[in-house]
Structure 1
């Protein structure tokens, strides 16, 4: 069952088209990856989901309702973003106390354990926290709130590798005990590849991939070998990326060709990060070709 629905959503800021006719669903009790480059439209989508922005056109529904200024929806949605702003007079503990008042499922014992693990100085003013400590405030709130829909817009980028791994470990463990819909928007795709169950990729405000992680990984391969053999293998399929060296070729192919001879080829799975990167580049090339009046997408 889907808990979030976007249908034909477009968002313009004067002459800037930030989101262009986007439609997708977020399903109940799943961990979603909302991926894409800087400026692709990810944060704009999340602001519309949390009622902070109104779409120029199209429909946004969270739990079947419009989230904008909706008191029945917003306490069930937690949005944590990088460089989250808090009042300057707040101590770190005040941010946690405010979250406890907002989110009905708040778990204070869990929050206290996270404060200890992330070594958060709760009596320090927020404006004097380091970037990593400020990130810790956000991830603690996002985890301890246990909101039915929780969105993390890269708040963990300020954490070091050890702290990020602690965040992922707690996320997985707590999600197992208290399932909810979680969205991770990140550039660190390799780090979350084994966590996310569904993948939505936005590029230039448009959806270029939207499927389960398992399905996406099964739909592409990397093929290496003699150029003629590789070209025969990939014939009729989208080549997302190609590298040539003398008579040797390496390609990333979308849509695994069936019943093709692989005797002289090396066929390997594609990592989720490589798939996202190569698909985005392919999408860019297709748009550039269309802009130049060229129809060839390969």
Structure 2
């Protein structure tokens, strides 16, 4: 699969439409079409955000969060491919890069869907709910191929929790992609509701996340803050998700401060010695 060209496919979400880069992956394109037509999935996303934002006064955990996580995950996976880092579904099951993209996409869309039941234990609820939904979404595949994909997606879903143990590249990517949705846009609704805590205040301090080809590692992640409060998002949330993800050696994460006078390096996430350097 080439990552040099990309087309945009509309992914319908409640009350709005956003764009998803499907590259030249017809398999992923087909999955997007199926998800678009699944009213149950759309409704579950709506319920999740009612629980998260309205009832628990948390940051956004609804369709826009799922969309951002899926974009982050696909971006990471495609940058890994450019550095010849093969997904686990390729090395272990001899399937394709296209299959790996479908795994991270579906895991990103469904990883928090269990919050439609309850926040506590939502990762387990997400696995239970997603199992049936995945059988519907992937119904057209041969049994063996479908079973492998479903298992890999469910593994990525359960592994995104803080004490999860990702055993695949794809699961590690989803775990990190989830944590990288930390910019101030995500905290808009709780902030408007006048609930100020370290989660909302620190998220307001994050202006931008940039995921790009690295100079010394396969992927460089740039985090731009406007206030030191944003370091909570990095140290307490992102750091815990990156640690033990299985992909930390491929990431060069740097935090910059920008108070309107230009970016200044604030913190290196990892010591250079821990990074798997590019050849």
Please say whether Structure 1 and Structure 2 have the same fold, judged by a TM-score greater than 0.5: no
Higher helix share: 2
Name the TM-score, length of structure 2 as normaliser: 0.29
**Higher strand residue share:** 1
- Of structures 1 and 2, the one with the larger relative CO (CA 8 A, separation 6+) is 1
If the length of structure 1 is used for normalisation, what is the TM-score? 0.27
